[in-house]
């Protein structure tokens, strides 16, 4: 389809800054703009884009929980089955946890064959200089006419793969960055898309699978972290732990060593994955003794997955199996481009 033809898209709103209003009672921002009010902020006359509207939540994304992702996936499934000739879906969402939500949708909805586009704003659309209207219009444009078949974040004129994105700025319009590689496209006079993306494919049969185990913990290592921290996490009933190590995935192995806790967790059926606190690069547990020690007691490497994607992926994997060999096998498969490390096998379409 070209931009000269009418395209049908669905806009699903979930709240976030883009829909926020100032509450006089609390003297703070909260979600409040209805979907029609959001669309009223756009240029009059959408021309050749027909927008079907669905209002799902009025939620600050800091309050989002894994069950909200599952409900969102269910809403996407419903509209994709009900609406004929749907070209794509736009989801307006808060920026704070957009990378988690969009990664979750990437895993729960595979082979969709059309763009699922997340967007939001740094400034509420109710404010005249908001970035919300531009981001929303860009997202609609990508959903309608972009040659994409995957879940992405469209923000500040850039198109990012959902599972390779981090929120890196609190206030600037360019809130998100892709981490190794670069964005998969930009919004210019035309939609400019780069090689390596998943393209539209209407012949695909979408796979909807919302099983998640939300008992996955994300732990950031810091100097002086108590060695019994992992034991306490296990006592809270967690089934998986993502450990953000230093540099290439290094952890303390001398004073306040974490290796004993990792071994204990794995012996008790908990799965431990080591990621890096660095935005760029990858966890390579084979370089230093302090990384190799974690590997030798059974921890897995996240390679160059973001910690957000690693957490969501482990939750998704554990929603399917707790078999140790199968969990390790699935964590070492790149399902939706979440890992760019070339040593990993791509997902089988069988």
The structure tokens listed for 99 are: 């990378």
Q: What is the distance of C-alpha 87 from the center of its chain?
A: 21
Distance between the two ends of the chain, CA-based, in angstroms? 28
Of the listed 13, 14, 17, 119, which one is catalytic? 17
The closest of 186, 188, 168 to 177, measured between CA atoms, is: 168
What angle, rounded to 10 degrees, do the helices at 259-267 and 289-296 form?
20
| Torsion sign, CA atoms 89, 95, 98, 99 | positive
Reply yes or no on whether 13 is catalytic: no
Residue 63, phi-psi category: left (phi > 0), alpha (psi -120 to 50), beta (remainder) = alpha
**6 CB contacts (<8 Å, ≥6 apart)?**
48, 49, 50
45: CB partners within 8 A, 6+ apart: none
Handedness of CA 215, 208, 135, 191 (dihedral sign): positive
Residues 6+ apart with CB under 8 A from 31: 15, 16, 19, 20, 21, 57, 58, 59, 60, 94
> Widest CA span of the chain, in angstroms?
65
β strands within 146-299, DSSP E = 151-155, 158-161, 165-167, 176-178, 185-187, 191-193, 207-208, 216-220, 240-245, 271-276
Supply 258's token pair: 């974490």
DSSP characters over 5-19:
S-EEEEEEEEESGGG
What region, left, alpha or beta, does residue 124 occupy, with left being phi > 0 and alpha being psi -120 to 50 degrees? Answer: beta
* Residues taking part in catalysis: 17
């Amino acid at each position: 389809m070209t931009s000269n033809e009418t395209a049908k898209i669905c806009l699903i709103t979930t709240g976030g800054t883009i829909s926020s209003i100032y509450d006089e009672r609390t003297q703070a921002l909260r979600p409040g703009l209805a979907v029609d009010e959001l669309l009223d902020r756009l240029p009059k006359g959408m021309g050749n884009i027909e927008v079907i509207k669905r209002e799902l939540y009025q939620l600050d994304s800091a309050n989002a929980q894994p069950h909200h992702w599952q409900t969102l996936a269910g809403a996407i499934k419903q509209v994709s089955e009900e609406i004929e000739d749907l070209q794509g879906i736009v989801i307006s969402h808060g920026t704070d946890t957009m990378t988690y939500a969009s990664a979750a949708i990437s895993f729960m909805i595979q082979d969709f064959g059309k763009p699922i586009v997340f967007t939001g704003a740094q400034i509420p659309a109710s404010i005249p200089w908001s970035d919300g209207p531009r981001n929303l219009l860009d997202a609609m444009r990508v959903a309608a006419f972009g040659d994409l078949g995957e879940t992405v974040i469209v923000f500040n004129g850039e198109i990012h793969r959902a599972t390779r994105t981090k929120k890196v700025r609190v206030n600037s319009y360019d809130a998100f960055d892709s981490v190794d590689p670069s964005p998969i496209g930009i919004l210019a006079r035309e939609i400019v898309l780069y090689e390596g993306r998943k393209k539209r494919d209407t012949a695909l049969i979408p796979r909807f699978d919302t099983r998640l185990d939300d008992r996955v913990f994300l732990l950031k290592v810091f100097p002086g972290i108590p060695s019994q921290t992992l034991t306490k996490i296990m006592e809270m009933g967690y089934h998986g732990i993502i450990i953000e190590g230093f540099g290439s995935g290094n952890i303390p192995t001398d004073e306040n060593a974490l290796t004993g806790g990792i071994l204990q967790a794995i012996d008790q059926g908990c799965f431990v994955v080591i990621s890096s606190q660095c935005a760029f690069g990858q966890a390579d547990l084979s370089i230093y003794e302090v990384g190799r020690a974690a590997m030798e007691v059974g921890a897995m490497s996240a390679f160059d997955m973001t910690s957000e994607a690693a957490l969501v992926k482990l939750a998704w994997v554990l929603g399917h199996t707790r078999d140790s060999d199968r969990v390790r096998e699935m964590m070492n498969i790149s399902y939706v481009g979440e890992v760019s490390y070339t040593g990993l096998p791509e997902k089988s379409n069988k």
